[in-house]
């Protein structure tokens, strides 16, 4: 494994943003930058040519003005929260709304808009990047958080989130990563998606979950079998089947030469189609956000995102690349 550390740019306050790159024996590379603990690049080599799989930027300025949260680590809580005031086992806190009176991606308290401390190390047949940061914000408790990117020689990438807080608090972090397996700015409508799910969340006109789960069958949300995304727009949460035999999500290039599978130890995935270039209606980026179901703290049966004081919680998301020549 190769490990490279470089300067990626400088923040307005003078702090340096570091970029860490891991490369395995197959020349698969990942790069993560310290600003936002952001996943900046994920590339494979095909016939000696590097192919980028993420929709990403090559300069820091773009990440400082990034309304789509490309590649950012989102926390303490990813997705939307329908309330701004909370009492959790004696801990009270109030959040500042930033989305139609609700809180999106933790609002002003996000993991995504600060510079983390980063270190990388070679583990032999794997290598990892570790980002650490302590957060003392509107959420209850001082939170010590860690995000680890670990790549091995079999083209498996694990992203591991860990947190411990001085008070009872909320913890539902995720990676807001966007994929396009055929190249940036290309239409994703013919990408093929599969989700191991029987239900999705019903939402109101502000995209807040109502608490109801709706069957996918015979709707646009039915990706039980691999098929093209088409022209539909998605900004929705699927309930992952807890009895699934394979991975939670599979994404395949239009020519079926490249497949990315994604799985996690949590119960939901949010899929969001977007185009960073607002001048076109063509969707060029597909976000796959593995997390506990959005707004879980406000809906029974959505999952537990409470982090008890002085206890450590750890979550893992796994990405696996499969090229046609590997099959």
The residues carrying an active-site annotation are: 176, 289
Three-class SS state of 136: coil
| Phi and psi at residue 171, to the nearest 5° | -150, 105
- For residues 43 and 29, is the Cβ–Cβ distance under 8 A? yes
Give the count of beta carbons closer than 10 Å to the beta carbon of residue 12: 6
Q: In this structure, are strands 174-176 and 72-74 parallel, antiparallel, or unpaired?
A: antiparallel
104: nearest Cα among 172, 164, 54, 38: 172
User: Tokens standing for 198?
Assistant: 């029987």
Burial class (CB in 10 A: 0-12, 13-18, 19+), 118: buried
- From the number of C-beta atoms within 10 Å of its C-beta (0-12, 13-18, 19+), residue 61 rates as exposed
Q: Which of 194, 214, 198 is CA-nearest to residue 288?
A: 194
Q: What is the DSSP track for 177-217?
A: -EE-TT-TT---TT-EEEE-EEEEEEE-TTS-EEEEEEE-T
DSSP 35-57: BTTEEEEEEEEETTEEEE-B---
């Amino acid at each position: 494994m190769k490990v490279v550390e470089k300067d990626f740019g400088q923040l307005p306050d003078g702090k340096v943003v570091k970029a860490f790159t891991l490369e395995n024996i197959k020349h698969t590379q990942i790069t993560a930058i310290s600003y936002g603990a952001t996943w900046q690049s994920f590339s494979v080599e095909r016939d000696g040519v590097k192919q980028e799989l993420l929709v990403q930027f090559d300069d820091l300025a773009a990440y400082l003005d990034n309304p789509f949260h490309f590649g950012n680590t989102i926390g303490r809580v990813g997705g939307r929260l329908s309330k701004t005031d909370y009492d959790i086992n004696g801990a009270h806190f109030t959040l500042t709304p930033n989305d139609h009176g609700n809180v999106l991606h933790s609002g002003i308290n996000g993991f995504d808009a600060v510079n983390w401390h980063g270190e990388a190390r070679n583990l032999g047949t794997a290598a990892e990047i570790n980002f650490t940061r302590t957060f003392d914000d509107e959420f209850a408790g001082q939170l010590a958080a860690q995000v680890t990117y670990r790549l091995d020689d079999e083209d498996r990438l694990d992203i591991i989130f860990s947190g411990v807080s001085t008070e009872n608090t909320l913890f539902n972090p995720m990676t807001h990563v966007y994929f396009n397996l055929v190249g940036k700015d290309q239409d994703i409508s013919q990408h093929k998606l599969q989700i191991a799910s029987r239900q999705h969340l019903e939402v109101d006109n502000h995209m807040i979950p109502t608490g109801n789960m709706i069957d996918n069958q015979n709707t646009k949300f039915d990706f039980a079998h691999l098929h093209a995304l088409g022209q539909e727009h998605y900004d929705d949460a699927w309930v992952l089947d807890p009895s699934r035999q394979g991975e939670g999500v599979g994404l395949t290039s239009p020519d079926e030469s490249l497949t990315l599978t994604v799985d996690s130890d949590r119960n939901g995935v949010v899929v969001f189609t977007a185009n960073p270039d607002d001048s076109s209606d063509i969707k060029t980026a597909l976000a796959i956000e593995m997390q506990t179901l959005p707004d879980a703290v406000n809906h029974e049966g959505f999952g537990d995102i409470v982090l008890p004081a002085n206890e450590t919680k750890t979550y893992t998301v796994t990405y696996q690349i499969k090229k046609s020549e590997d099959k």
